[in-house]
Structures are given as structure tokens and as C-alpha cells.
Amino acid sequence: MVKVIFIQETINLTFDLYLVLSVLNLTATLVLVIVVVRALKGERNSRANATDRLRVFENSIINKVEMLRNSIEGFKNSSVNVLSAIEIKLKEIDRIALNLHERLERKLSRIELALVDVTTVKSIDRLEDVDCIFREDGLIIYGSYDKKFVAHIVQALRALESLDFNKVEVTMNDFTVAIGMLGQIRGKSIYCLRKGSSPVKFNSKGILKELGDIIG
Amino acid sequence: MTSLAKKNYGDIIKRIVNRSFGQIERCVIASENGLPLATYGNPDEINEIIAAIAAPLFAATQDVINNLEKTRVVKIDVEFTNSKHLIIAPLFNDVIAVLSSRNPNLGLIYYLIEEIAEPKPEENRSSSKTSKKSETDHDTSL
């Protein structure tokens, strides 16, 4: 009988132990599940946080890049403006230099002409040194020269009349014809002409005085 | 006057006027009895008057001069108060009369007339060779 009770007790005890173990096992499993779930939840949260942070970080980087881009563009624009200003200034300097160059060239050519005048220009003071003297109407009044040439020179002088010139030189193949304005006689302009190879300068007063003595 | 000569006179007038740089207002070639043979300038009635004046004027001048000197008249230049000139010169058996513009380049007009007008008596006496050279020079000019 005792044996049966013992067995029964053993069975009961065994049963209880099994139950307890099962309960413990279940509890442990539940805890584990909870832990795992929490862990998973935490991980998800941290991921979301990280994503948010990443987005914030990304936005801040985008903002920074935007700012950088704006400042670079600003710098670029200001550089372009500076370059344009430099270009304008350079062009201005170029123009001034060109003007100076032209003025210098003119001055130099004048100096050269003056030097040529001083060295090689022959002064024509006497009537006998001119080839002919003609009036503004193309009539030769002293000396002689190719009538065709004189007639056409008169036509050219009429075109130049308003320029108030003193001397005109016509260079042909190997000689130069110098035509000088002497003055006026009885309201008509008088010109003299000399053919030669070197530059000449006419002494109008001297030539006109001699001419006046001849033609009265 | 043959039609060929008339055509040549037309060419002569055209040649003179074209080379005058506007110094010639009218140009008339007239027969010795005062009839216009070729003209330049409008109206034509004035040219007829110029022809009628120029031919007898030149003939009369030649007659008068013959009493003074045994020579020929090369040209007559009549200056007007308006500063125009009427220049008459012999051309074969006829005369050429040129009415200039105001204040003309007389040197040019004389040169153009001398180019086509009769050779001077002095030139007639010179050798024909010289005359030919002179003509060649004129043809190649301008």
C-alpha cells in the first residue's frame, strides 16, 4: 500500500515538477520573446533615429553645399565683373596707347619733314628758277610748260582751293612738279610751277616782286 | 558737208565736252555761212544763234587782221561781264564756237580746242613728221 502511495506521490510530484518545469520553460520562453521583441523594437527605433539623423545630416550637407555653391557663384559673378572691368580698362589703355602712338608718329613725321626741309629743301627765290607762272583760269603768264598738264593742274587746284594750301607736289615717274601759291594779281590767284627732283620751297614775295616788275 | 563729216563733228564735240570737266556750256560747229553742223547744249535755238554769230564774226575778224598782218587768226576769245567766254576757232573750212561756264579754266578749253582745231600757219611750214608726232601725242592723251 505504501508502495502504491509512494508511486502515486511520485507520480503527483513528478507531475508537478513537470508542470513547474513547463511553466518555467514557458516563462523563460516568454521572457526571451519579450527580450527579443524589445530588442528588435529598440533596434528599429535606433534605425529610425539613425535615418532621421542621417536625413538631418544630409539636409545640413545639402544646405552647406547650397551655400557653398551660392558663394562660389557670387565669387564667380564678382570675378566676371572684375574681369570685365579689367578688360574695359585694358581696352581703354590700348586706345590711349594707340592715340599716343599715332600722335608720336605724326610728331615724328613732322620732325622728319622739318629735318628734310632743313637739309634738302631748296629755296626758290627768283623768277628765272621757276618753269612757269599761271593764273587760276589756266592761262600761262610767264614761262612755258606742258599746256595739258597746266590745264589739268588748274582743275585740281580748283578742287583744293578751299584748303588754303601753300604748295602742292605732284610726283611723276622720276621727277616731281612743285606748284606753289604766289598770291593774287588783279583778283586772280597766281601759281608758280617748277619741275625737279628735290623738294623746293617758293619765296612768294620775291617771285611776285620780280613778276610785277616784268608785267607791271 | 557730207554725213560722214557731220558724224565726225558730232564725235569731236562729244570728245571736247566730255574732257572739259563741265567748263563748256555749249559747243557749236558752224559752216562758214553760219549754219550749225553739230551742237551740244539745249535749247538748240541758242546754238543756232551762236552759229549765226560765230561764223561771220570769225570771217570778219580774219578780214580785218589781213589788213594788219599777213597771218591767220587762231582763235577769238570774247569775254562777257558775267565771266563767261565765247571762244571761236577755225575747224577745216568751218568754225567751232564754245560758250564756257562762269570763271572757266581757259587753259583747259584752249588746250581742247587747239587739239582739234586747224594747225597754226607756223606748224604748216614745219615738217610733216613733227605734225604726225603731235597728233599721236594728242590721241594718246587723257
What is the per-residue pLDDT across A92-116, written as a single tens digit (0 to 9) for each?
999 999 999 999 999 888 888 777 6
For residues A4-11, average pLDDT: 58
| CA angle centred on A182, ends A179 and A184, rounded to 5° | 130
Q: Specify the pLDDT at position A23.
A: 79
For residues A21-43, average pLDDT: 82
Averaged pLDDT score across all residues of chain B: 82
Q: Specify the pLDDT at position A144.
A: 92
Q: In chain B, what residues touch A138 (CB-CB under 8 Å)?
A: 105-110
What is the per-residue pLDDT across A113-129, written as a single tens digit (0 to 9) for each?
777 666 677 888 888 88
First-residue to last-residue Cα distance in chain A: 193
What is the per-residue pLDDT across A116-164, written as a single tens digit (0 to 9) for each?
666 677 888 888 889 999 999 999 999 999 999 999 999 999 988 888 8
What is the per-residue pLDDT across A157-196, written as a single tens digit (0 to 9) for each?
998 888 888 889 898 888 889 999 998 888 888 999 999 8
**Residue B109 distance to chain A (closest CA, Å):** 8
Separation of alpha carbons A211 and B5, rounded Å: 46
Check whether domain B3-141 has CATH 3.40.440.10, yes or no: no
B116 close to A (CB below 8 A):
no
Polymer length in residues for chain B: 142
Q: What is the ipTM of this complex?
A: 0.72
Question: Strand, helix or coil at A209?
Answer: helix
Asked if the Cβ–Cβ distance from B108 to A154 is below 8 Å, we say yes
Contacting B with CB below 8 Å, chain A residues are 134, 137-140, 147-148, 150-152, 154-155, 158
Separation of alpha carbons A118 and A98, rounded Å: 30
pLDDT band at A6 (very low <50, low <70, confident <90, very high): low
Asked if the Cβ–Cβ distance from A147 to B21 is below 8 Å, we say no
Q: Is residue B130's pLDDT more than 60?
A: no
For residues B75-98, average pLDDT: 94
